[in-house]
Amino acid sequence: MAETTHCKQCSEPMHRQVIGTLSGEDGALKIAVANFPALVCGRGHRQFITGDFPIKLLQQVMKGDNGGLPAGKKQGMLFKKYQCSGCGAALGSDGAPRAIGRDVSVAEDAELHVEMTVPVYTCTSCGREQLRSSDDIAGHAPAALAHLFQAANLKPPG
């Protein structure tokens, strides 16, 4: 990708710039991304550095190891119940928020730090810490990232 292109909104030249830390949330998931690169024009309009950047970032968020935390088991279609992944005991309804951070490489020379804050549940029977289910991240990550992009006023490249 060339370092300079023209803005779709005002036709001014755009240059690659790190715009700082961006954050978004959906449900119980909060995502913050540090060192976020974008193309920025002199008037402050922003675009993604590549057209596939949002998808690649989502893929990196989804394939993480969740900080080494296991996921509980979900049962039920309408009335969901969650069980400990270790002993099978029922998990409580209140989880304590915990930040899980990792560095990801999304595009050539675009190293980002992604921090996800998710509720972590402690089994009252065996004491195992875990996510309530893998859906805690997978179900909310796309919308949380979309809110992050909207808050930063990022547009697809032209």
Give the tens place of pLDDT for each residue, 114-155: 999 999 999 999 999 999 888 778 889 999 999 999 999 998
Contacts of 30 by beta carbon, 8 Å cutoff, 6+ apart: 23, 24, 97, 116, 117, 118, 144
Q: E-strand spans in 12-95?
A: 13-18, 22-26, 29-34, 37-41, 46-47, 73-75, 81-83
State the Cα angle at 52 between 48 and 58, rounded to 5°: 95
In the prediction, which pLDDT does 88 show? 93
Mean pLDDT of the chain: 89
Record the pTM.
0.86
Number of structural domains found in the chain: 1
**Euclidean distance between CA atoms 22 and 35, whole angstroms:** 9
**Euclidean distance between CA atoms 52 and 102, whole angstroms:** 21
Confidence band (pLDDT; 50, 70, 90) for 3?
A: very low
Q: Supply the range of the domain harboring residue 118.
A: 4-155
Helix H or strand E segment including 84: none
**Euclidean distance between CA atoms 19 and 35, whole angstroms:** 7
In contact, 47 and 155? CB cutoff 8 Å: yes
In the prediction, which pLDDT does 123 show? 94
**Euclidean distance between CA atoms 29 and 23, whole angstroms:** 11
Q: What is the pLDDT of residues 82-126, one digit of tens each?
A: 999 999 999 988 899 999 999 998 877 778 999 999 999 999 999
Letter string b/e over residues 118-150, b meaning 16 or more CB atoms within 10 A of that residue's CB: bbbbbbeeeebbbbbbeebbeebbeebbebbbe
- Kindly state the average pLDDT of the residues 11-17: 93
Confidence band (pLDDT; 50, 70, 90) for 62?
A: confident
